[in-house]
């Protein structure tokens, strides 16, 4: 029996995944699961990090082909770092997202990776940008992505509120990841969360058994 998954066309290791980013009052939370799979049958890594730091206050989460995503983020990290040094100031989140977008769009034939860029900058504060597979760039207050995201669109749309506090936002993100990981077989492992504010960057890791449970008995 063939199971059709969102990224079943991807050869090799893919991040059948759940990723999200949510703005709150004063910052942004970016989160992901930690499972990497091959063909949807074999879990090649239970503890992979899908949250890549591209600059002091800017993170990216990756979905799709892991190899493609790593190559693109490596190139983007270099470009953004160089740009920031030339500008003599921290890069705008929009600039970082644009760099990713240019890489994705110009190489769309070869690549199969999508990204969520989130961060904080002095000009516009906390922001979230989606860079889709073909290179579309979109700014949103919050966004979800990856194969697991299909199971939580309803939850996210219903429960998101603008201007949440940090604690409310952490609860929202944790719940969303837990629900997705609970239903999507290619998402799982631990929940990685990064809280980005003007003051700094805080990593939160929630092991699978400590995630909120929803009728799991």
Partner 1 sequence: MTSYDLSASTFSPDGRVFQVEYAMKAVENSSTAIGIRCKDGVVFGVEKLVLSKLYEQGSNKRIFNVDRHVGMAVAGLLADARSLSEVAREEASNFRSNYGHNIPLKYLSERVAMYVHAYTLYSAVRPFGCSFIFGSYDQDDGPQLYMVDPSGISFGYWGCAIGKAKQAAKTEIEKLQMKDMTCRELVKEVAKIIYIVHDEVKDKAFELELSWVGEVTNGKHELVPKDIRVEAEKYAKEKTEDGSSTL
Q: Which residues are catalytic?
A: 17
**Binding of partner 1 at residue 83 (CB under 8 A)?**
yes
**Binding of partner 1 at residue 204 (CB under 8 A)?**
no
Tokens representing residue 7 in the block: 């990224």
| Contacting range for partner 1; rule: CB under 8 A; set: 95-103, 109-117, 167-175, 186-194 | 95-103
Q: Which of residues 135-164 bind partner 1 (CB under 8 A)?
A: 137
Residue of the chain from 76, 92, 164, 178 that contacts partner 1 (CB under 8 A): 92
Residue of the chain from 9, 11, 108, 123 that contacts partner 1 (CB under 8 A): 123
Tokens representing residue 53 in the block: 């730091």
The minimum distance between CB 201 and partner 1, in angstroms, equals 22
Closest CA to 61 of 161, 158, 177, 153: 177
Distances in whole angstroms, Cα of residue 40 to Cα of each of 37, 50, 121, 152, 190: 6, 17, 38, 19, 18
Contact predicate 122/58, CB 8 Å: no
**Binding of partner 1 at residue 56 (CB under 8 A)?**
no
**Binding of partner 1 at residue 95 (CB under 8 A)?**
yes
The minimum distance between CB 171 and partner 1, in angstroms, equals 32
How buried is 199 (Cβ within 10 angstroms: 0-12 exposed, 13-18 middle, 19+ buried)?
exposed
The minimum distance between CB 102 and partner 1, in angstroms, equals 6
**Binding of partner 1 at residue 98 (CB under 8 A)?**
yes
Q: How far apart are CA 110 and CA 95, in angstroms?
A: 23
């Amino acid at each position: 029996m063939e199971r059709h998954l969102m990224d079943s066309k991807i050869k090799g290791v893919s991040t059948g995944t759940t990723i999200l980013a949510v703005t709150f009052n004063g910052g942004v939370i970016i989160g992901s699961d930690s499972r990497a799979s091959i063909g949807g049958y074999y879990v090649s890594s239970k503890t992979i990090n899908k949250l890549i730091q591209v600059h002091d206050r800017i993170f990216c989460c990756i979905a799709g082909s892991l190899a493609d995503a790593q190559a693109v983020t490596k190139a983007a990290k270099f470009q953004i770092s160089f740009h920031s040094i030339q500008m003599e100031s921290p890069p705008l989140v929009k600039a970082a997202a644009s760099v990713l977008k240019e890489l994705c769009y110009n190489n769309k034939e070869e690549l199969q990776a999508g990204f969520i860029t989130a961060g904080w900058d002095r000009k516009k504060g906390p922001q979230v940008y989606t860079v889709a597979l073909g290179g579309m760039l979109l700014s949103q207050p919050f966004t979800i992505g990856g194969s697991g995201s299909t199971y939580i669109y309803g939850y996210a749309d219903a429960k998101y509120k603008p201007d949440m506090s940090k604690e409310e936002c952490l609860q929202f993100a944790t719940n969303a990841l837990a629900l997705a990981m609970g239903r999507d077989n290619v998402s799982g492992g631990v929940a990685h969360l990064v809280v980005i504010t003007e003051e700094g960057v805080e990593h939160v890791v929630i092991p699978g058994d400590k995630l909120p449970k929803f009728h799991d008995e």
